[in-house]
Structure 1
Amino acid sequence: MKGIAGRRKTGKVLGGLLLAAVLALPIQAGAAAQAGSVYKIVALGDSVTAGYEPAMAAQTNPAVYGYAERLKEQALFHGRAELVNDGILGLTSEGLANYTGAIEAGTAVAADAIQPGVSDPRIAKFASGIAQAKSDVADADLIVITIGGNDIKPLLSEVKTLAANDLETKVKTLLADYSANIIETIGHLRTVNPQALIVLADQYQPVPAIAGKADYDKLEQAAALYTSTVDQVVAQTNTATGPVKAAHVAAAFVGSEMSYTHILEGDIHPQQAGYEAIAKVFAGVIWGEYRQTAAAAGKEPISIVIGGQEWNSANKPILKNGQTFVAIGDIVQATHAVSKWNSKTSTVTVTLSGRTVVIPIGSSTIQVNGTKVATSAPAFLNKVGVNSKTYVPLALLANGLGFDVQYSPKMKTAFINF
């Protein structure tokens, strides 16, 4: 989905958008955990799925942090997690049905077979990467969908000229096509993956009441029809073995359109606050809650979540040379590992589940199961009160013990999962 400004300015803005998309919106976001069970999220849809904001048009390498990336963070509170973001800029519900139809077939297609003239410069990669997309969908535990903004966007420019009854008639016609496309999409996905949880969002409307009460009321009525259609689709496609749920994001935007979207810039995409609002709705549907950490709330410089629980210790993590260091005793206690300190060699040895990590203080190498591993972040002794604590590089220790370590720079939080 492109914003209003993108539709009106097809030169510089569109060119910047496409360049930014090529450089900074990879088809896949996030890396699979090294081992163990991984909760896999596949995000499908348009530019809201992709996490687009208009400032990206002028950025060489913008950092994408939309609702899907936030959902991966929420999943990390529950275990290892991976995100594949297949959001396609400018996609319509018909385009999504075509794309998922190709995924069901499992063979590469021409770009126009997904959607003729779609604005995303990566469309050829999506079209040729169908086999990988099918594998991703087949492995997914969760499939989230935001789509439809491009279906109904023309109404934003027509709302002033259409009477309420005429607008309602047009909305219902558009939503009938949308409904058929989404039911077809879910059918394709269910053929590939019969059991994943599918969560489908309704569509927020971005125009604030300040634009005019009459127009605002008409747009809110259109949004309500959209929500009702989503609920009907969910009721029709939901089964005990193949659950489908609705995420009512539209309600979260009511009264907050100016702070949640870029509408004052002539663009209807969410701001960061809007993407967080969307993520909160999805997380509530999926996990029943949206969690934050002390660091994300600005109360600590960094937070560490171990096995779903935020680590709270008097021995605070230390950021040094771009690395996170933690007191070895606290990590050993939290993970139920066993440690041994050799005062003669100033070396700590940590063992867990048959894995052994040997960390000498100040050394540029450690040993993982007898193999030397270089590190640019040597362990050190840090005085805490009257005692000296051994601080070790978190990622190196956790990886050596076979844990999965994921760091969220936005939340300033490191997630460790077993």
Structure 2
Amino acid sequence: MNKKRNKMPIISAIVVIMLMLNGSAAAASSLTSSTPADEYLIVALGDSISAGYEPGMDEKSVPYGFVERLSEQGLFHGRTKSVNYGILGLTSTGLGNYVSAIKDGKQVTPNEIQQGLPDPRIAAFAAGTSTAKADLSNADLITITIGGNDIQKLLPDIKDMSSDQVKVQSTDILTNYALQVRSIVDTLIELNPEAQIVVADQYQPIPKIAGAGTYVTLQNVATSFTAVVDEIAEQYTAQGKNVKAAHVAEAFVGREISLTHIYPETDIHPNQKGYEEIAKVISKVVWDSYTETAAKKGEAEISIVVKGVELKSQYQPVLKNGQTFIAIKDITDAIGGESRWNSKTQSATVTYEGRSVVIPMGSNKITSNGETLTTASPAFLHKIGKESKTYVPLAILAQGLGLDVKYSGKTKTVFINL
């Protein structure tokens, strides 16, 4: 039975790491050089919670965890990008080794980070410490979710342990955790004294139905974990450092079944609702808010957010041939631009901050600052009641005006930032 418990998470880790290798690791290697100076950069460190892992992922899966949601929340406040260094199976000691290697900017072997993580993604991260150092040095926000794999060693035998045994073992685990996290935070502050660092506590995923006694015992361990995280954050705050605690654990209490994938013999991880709760907690620590658009709540087909404000208009966006079209006046008013209509050429000209885009009606050719661009579907007149409004392709217009445009398929929301 123990062999089965140990074997399955490693197999899961290898599957997910391989599927993420070509995406996440490659993106991480190019992020620093392509990140504009005015772009808010989120760097996530930690274990599978940071990675956004869920049981059942295969080679076609794309993680959508708390980091991706946090990046979306950042878009309500300006241009935002995130890079994810979440490593499945990582312990606090392993993260300490990894951050130490990042500080030195030297390539290391996977086993120098942590024994028992023989997977391609770990090798890529181990070799890419100089890139990680640059990312962390430029980060505006650094999140840390670590410790679940430290505590996990208690789970197989906890039902047979006395309260004193649990207390002794959990105290040893948390003492080492605190030592490692303080060292990690010290290193991060040395690399980037301006970044905000948010350390999350660890929720306990086992529901009360598994046994009232065990549930109470695990909740006590989780409470002790939170106390350690709070103490660490308070210590740095007293020193004038921007380090905060995120209380994820309390969001899961009494809701473990609805927020967690629970396969006792193989895997326990948050489900999509669970990852959303984690994102809410951390977002409220960082921005004091967690915003949901009308489309996210199922109240609209698509939402458009410009400079952090969702457009509210009687002229709703239109999806056509995979493109989002919007009433031209709505977008120009939202960004503070101007539009002019030329009845002779049947074209609209939009200007903003010295840039100009000419959009002919019914033509796939758009002129952007003197350059001809091609759009899949042309601008058109959209009849709404007794009115006819000029609808233009949003993405190509925003591109021509030098705006930052990102689309979240999960929330059906277009984010536009200047």
TM more than 0.5: yes
In the alignment, residue 275 of structure 1 is paired with which amino acid? Answer: Y
2:269 match: secondary structure:
coil
**How far does residue 55 in structure 1 lie from its aligned partner after superposition?**
1.5
Q: Deviations over 1:152-198 (max 9, x none)?
A: 10111121111011101100001101100000101111111011110
2:159 match: secondary structure:
coil
CA contact (8 A) 2:75 2:415 kept: yes
Counterpart CA distance in 2 for 1:405 and 1:240 is: 39
Aligned partner of 2:311 in structure 1 is 311
Structure 1 residues 293 and 249: alpha-carbon distance in aligned structure 2, compared to 1, 3 A threshold: same
Aligned partner of 1:167 in structure 2 is 166
RMSD: 2.1
Spell out the pairing of 1:353-372 with structure 2 (5 A cutoff).
353-372=353-372
Q: Deviations over 1:276-304 (max 9, x none)?
A: 01011101111111110000000001000
Aligned partner of 1:54 in structure 2 is 55
Point out where structure 2 has 5 or more consecutive residues left out of the alignment: none
Aligned partner of 2:106 in structure 1 is 107
Aligned partner of 1:79 in structure 2 is 78
Spell out the pairing of 1:23-38 with structure 2 (5 A cutoff).
25-26=24-25, 28=27, 37-38=38-39
Aligned partner of 1:342 in structure 2 is 342
**How far does residue 7 in structure 1 lie from its aligned partner after superposition?**
3.1
Aligned partner of 1:283 in structure 2 is 283
Counterpart CA distance in 2 for 1:296 and 1:187 is: 38
**Which shifted more, 15-24 or 279-288?**
15-24
**Which shifted more, 111-120 or 76-85?**
111-120
Aligned partner of 2:253 in structure 1 is 254
1:66 partnered with 2:65: yes
Aligned partner of 1:386 in structure 2 is 386
2:402 match: secondary structure:
coil
Q: Deviations over 1:104-134 (max 9, x none)?
A: 1122222222112225530111011111111
Aligned partner of 2:216 in structure 1 is 217
Structure 1 residues 199 and 18: alpha-carbon distance in aligned structure 2, compared to 1, 3 A threshold: closer
Counterpart CA distance in 2 for 1:157 and 1:406 is: 44
Structure 1 residues 150 and 119: alpha-carbon distance in aligned structure 2, compared to 1, 3 A threshold: farther
Counterpart CA distance in 2 for 1:155 and 1:365 is: 64
Counterpart CA distance in 2 for 1:31 and 1:416 is: 20
Structure 1 residues 171 and 119: alpha-carbon distance in aligned structure 2, compared to 1, 3 A threshold: farther
CA contact (8 A) 1:346 1:361 kept: yes
Spell out the pairing of 1:130-279 with structure 2 (5 A cutoff).
130-238=129-237, 241-264=240-263, 266-279=266-279
**How far does residue 413 in structure 1 lie from its aligned partner after superposition?**
0.4
Counterpart CA distance in 2 for 1:111 and 1:14 is: 14
2:270 match: secondary structure:
coil
Counterpart CA distance in 2 for 1:13 and 1:236 is: 37
Counterpart CA distance in 2 for 1:35 and 1:194 is: 20
In the alignment, residue 165 of structure 1 is paired with which amino acid? Answer: D
Counterpart CA distance in 2 for 1:8 and 1:108 is: 28
CA contact (8 A) 2:110 2:118 kept: no
Counterpart CA distance in 1 for 2:202 and 2:35 is: 36
In the alignment, residue 116 of structure 1 is paired with which amino acid? Answer: Q
- TM-score normalized by structure 1? 0.94
**Which shifted more, 87-96 or 4-13?**
4-13
**How far does residue 242 in structure 1 lie from its aligned partner after superposition?**
2.7
Aligned partner of 2:405 in structure 1 is 405
1:55 match: secondary structure:
coil
CA contact (8 A) 1:21 1:121 kept: no
Counterpart CA distance in 1 for 2:43 and 2:113 is: 18
**How far does residue 346 in structure 1 lie from its aligned partner after superposition?**
1.1
State the identity as a percent: 49
Structure 1 residues 258 and 62: alpha-carbon distance in aligned structure 2, compared to 1, 3 A threshold: same
Counterpart CA distance in 1 for 2:269 and 2:4 is: 10
Counterpart CA distance in 2 for 1:355 and 1:331 is: 15
Counterpart CA distance in 1 for 2:232 and 2:65 is: 25
In the alignment, residue 297 of structure 2 is paired with which amino acid? Answer: A
Q: Deviations over 1:200-255 (max 9, x none)?
A: 00000010000110111111111111111111111223356531000010011100
Counterpart CA distance in 2 for 1:279 and 1:185 is: 22
Counterpart CA distance in 2 for 1:11 and 1:134 is: 27
Counterpart CA distance in 2 for 1:13 and 1:226 is: 26
- TM-score normalized by structure 2? 0.94
Q: Deviations over 1:9-63 (max 9, x none)?
A: 368656544443446654647978885611110000001000000120xx22112
Counterpart CA distance in 2 for 1:125 and 1:161 is: 40
Counterpart CA distance in 2 for 1:262 and 1:391 is: 44
**How far does residue 385 in structure 1 lie from its aligned partner after superposition?**
1.4
CA contact (8 A) 1:90 1:120 kept: no
In the alignment, residue 60 of structure 1 is paired with which amino acid? Answer: E
Point out where structure 1 has 5 or more consecutive residues left out of the alignment: none
In the alignment, residue 409 of structure 1 is paired with which amino acid? Answer: G
CA contact (8 A) 1:76 1:415 kept: yes
Counterpart CA distance in 1 for 2:260 and 2:325 is: 38
Aligned partner of 1:44 in structure 2 is 45
